[in-house]
A and B are shown apart, each in its own frame.
Chain A
Amino acid sequence: GAGVSQSPRYKVAKRGQDVALRCDPISGHVSLFWYQQALGQGPEFLTYFQNEAQLDKSGLPSDRFFAERPEGSVSTLKIQRTQQEDSAVYLCASSLSTVYEQYFGPGTRLTVT
């Protein structure tokens, strides 16, 4: 079946611009996670949804980062007033339930110039 998809795959933003990154989870997957992966590093947890409820946002680095999943399916990660340090690959993962067996999307590579 179809895996997790993300769009856009690449995004170049000028410093100060707002960006929105989209994640389409595997159909039927209740849990959705966002991670940030810097070059040469492991993914770092940002936030977690169970259906439409955002149960954990402890990993969001600042109040410029905002995520939503209004209908319990597609999720959007928004970054306001982008900074150079926001440059990274943003990965989305989904699972049937909670933290177990997460399947990742291809990521969105964000470059802030």
Chain B
Amino acid sequence: GENVEQHPSTLSVQEGDSAVIKCTYSDSASNYFPWYKQELGKRPQLIIDIRSNVGEKKDQRIAVTLNKTAKHFSLHITETQPEDSAVYFCAGAGSGGGADGLTFGKGTHLIIQP
């Protein structure tokens, strides 16, 4: 089955700086890679996703890049703000013909320093 590795486990950046979180996956048949933000005690929120037919996707301050050859994808957050502080999870899926769930990484605790 799919295995998703995520780094770093904790990331501290100054407010206004950029943050990058990286993930690798094992199953070359996976074709869908979402990112979720989870605040303490809250539900995971889908913030951006990418499918394997594109290499990059942007939504305001957030972007995701995908390198299918190397089997890795990254989340980029620019101009970080205090409200970006949360745990971020990457995930992969899609190799099971649609009849499977997401495989998540272990999460990155992003801390925005004022």
Contacts and interface: CB of A to CB of B under 8 A. Distances in A.
Contact of B93 (A42, A55, A58, A99): A99
Contacts of A104: 36, 43-46
A102 to B, nearest CB: 7
A43 B99 contact: no
A100 B99 contact: no
Interface residues of A, number: 29
Interface in A47-66: 47-48, 50, 55-56, 58-59
A91 B44 contact: yes
Interface stretch (B11-19, B69-77, B103-111): B103-111
Contacts of A58: 100
Given A56-B100, A100-B94, A101-B46, 8 more contacts: A41-B107, A47-B101, A48-B99, A48-B101, A98-B99, A99-B32, A102-B46, A102-B102
A103 to B, nearest CB: 6
Interface residues of B, number: 26
A45 B102 contact: yes
18 contacts: A40-B107, A41-B107, A42-B105, A42-B107, A43-B102, A46-B101, A55-B99, A56-B99, A91-B44, A98-B99, A99-B32, A99-B93, A99-B98, A99-B100, A99-B101, A101-B34, A102-B34, A102-B102
Interface of A: 4, 33, 35, 40-48, 50, 55-56, 58-59, 91, 97-107
B94 A43 contact: no
A106 B42 contact: yes
Q: Which 3 A-B pairs have the closest CB atoms?
A: A45-B101, A42-B104, A98-B98
B40 to A, nearest CB: 11
A33 B44 CA distance: 14
Contacts of B32: 99-100
Nearest to B51: A100
Contacts of A103: 46
A97 B106 CA distance: 25
Interface string B57-89: 000000000000000000000000000000001
